[in-house]
Structure 1
Amino acid sequence: MLGRGIALLSGALLLSGCVTAKVGTDYAAISQKIGPPKAGQSRVVVLQRKRDGLSMAICACDVKVDGSPMGKVMVGTYAYADLPAGPHQLVASETLFPGDTKRDFTTAPGRTHFFLVKSSARHDSIAGMSMIGGLAGVAVAAAATAGTDNLGPGEFIPLDESTARTMLAELQLAD
């Protein structure tokens, strides 16, 4: 009950900003309810697949677009935001993870742009080393992977609409 109250309050705060953002699992129902982006606007959807079995290759990413929070995208969820068409930046961060993932992109008016977020190679390395070596393992893995292009916990992979809608439908079916 408290979690739902916090979620509702967070949603109200997000709606009061310049970016409209939502998080959930049933995108088909939401997209039918809200319709396409308004004139001059675009929509960005970031999703993470549901995982089968145990895996450390997951990212509980806090996603922002142009510095405004979209939401936490965890396994089997998505977040979306409506924003003006034009250039934008997605950023993924994770609590206690040393670094951010950044992706610059440009949106077109009236269009929905989809991104899959998955754990980065650096995230997987640090997670694996933390299982083996605790905090010392994290420090070693963080230092060893610091020279990579992506210092963050995830990767943003653009998806075509057909693939994205199939993945989004699978999220809803898995609930």
Structure 2
Amino acid sequence: MLLRGLVLFVAAVLLCGCETTARNGLGYAETLRKIGPPKAGHARIVVVREKGYGGIADPDFPFALDGAPIKGLKTGTYVYADRPAGQHQFVAEEIGLGTTRVDFSAQSGQTVFFVARMSERKTAVIANASTGLLGYGLTLAMTAGYKNQGPLEFLQLEETSARTTIAELRLAE
């Protein structure tokens, strides 16, 4: 009985902590008012991670934009970077999974939106993690034909739907 009460108390504390964390940070409209548009000759690149269950630890999705590490993209957050107009590349690497590379271009003054999600391959590996090393090896073999061998997907969003999605998110810290 005491153990059950302790477990419920810990769960309540964790849930309250999650709610407090989710309210920190700036919303997208607030951020736009504060930072304004990208400077002349630059584009703004925004990457969102949708709301949902981020797991117990909710690790960020580490990736690089044009070779510069971008950190802090957790569930329900977004990050942005202003870069010179032209060609750009996202790279996400994870030992044991491989590399995701996504090339895209952005024009001067443009804001380009992407959603980052776990790749189908990484999702399959996580789902079979409890089966041990043999399950891991089988999962890697079964997913070897997947187009994206890396850990993340970067899907470009249309501006209207992106602004709707991002309205409820917060700037990553």
TM-score interval for Structure 1 and Structure 2 normalised by the shorter chain: 0.7 to 0.9
Q: Which residue of 2 aligns with 1:156?
A: 154
Distance 1:87 1:43 in 2: 13
- Give, in whole Å, the separation in 1 of the partners of 2:77 and 2:140: 27
137-146 vs 148-157, which moves further: 137-146
Q: How is 1:93-132 mapped onto 2 (pairs within 5 angstroms)?
A: 93-94=93-94, 96-131=95-130
1:78 maps to which residue? 78
Identity %, equivalent residues: 43
Specify the code of the residue in structure 1 equivalent to 2:119. S
Alignment gaps of 5+ in structure 1:
1-23
How far off its partner does 1:25 sit? 5.7
* 1:55 positional shift: 7.1
How many residues align? The count is 145
- For the pair 1:42 / 2:55, whether they are aligned, the reply is no
Q: Give the aligned residue type for 2:35.
A: I
The AA in structure 2 aligned to 1:98 is L
1:51–1:100 Cα change, 3 Å: same
CA RMSD across the alignment: 2.3
In the TM superposition, what is the alpha-carbon distance from 1:93 to its structure 2 partner? 3.3
Task: Specify every segment of 5 or more residues in structure 2 that has no aligned partner in the other structure, as ranges.
Answer: 1-24
Instruction: With the length of structure 1 as denominator, give the TM-score of the two structures.
Output: 0.74
Q: Does the Cα contact within 8 Å between 1:63 and 1:72 map onto a contact in 2? A: no
> What pairs with 1:23-62 in structure 2 (closer than 5 Å)?
26-51=27-52, 60-62=60-62
Q: Deviations over 1:83-125 (max 9, x none)?
A: 000001011235x552121110000000110001112110111
Q: Which amino acid aligns with 2:132?
A: G
Distance 1:25 1:139 in 2: 42
Would you say the 8 A contact 2:122–2:150 is kept in 1?
A: yes
Q: What is the CA–CA distance in structure 1 between the aligned matches of 2:80 and 2:49, rounded to whole Å?
A: 12
C-alpha distance after superposition, 1:17-42 (max 9, x if no partner): xxxxxxx6622211210100000000
The 2-side partners of 1:25 and 1:90 are apart by 24
**Contact 1:63–1:91 (8 Å) recurs in 2:** yes
* Distance of aligned partners of 1:93 and 1:32 in 2 relative to their CA distance in 1, 3 Å threshold: farther
CA contact (8 A) 1:61 1:93 kept: no
C-alpha distance in 2 between matches for 1:84 and 1:168? 23
> Secondary structure at 2:51's aligned position in 1?
coil
**In 2, distance between residues paired with 1:129 and 1:89?**
30
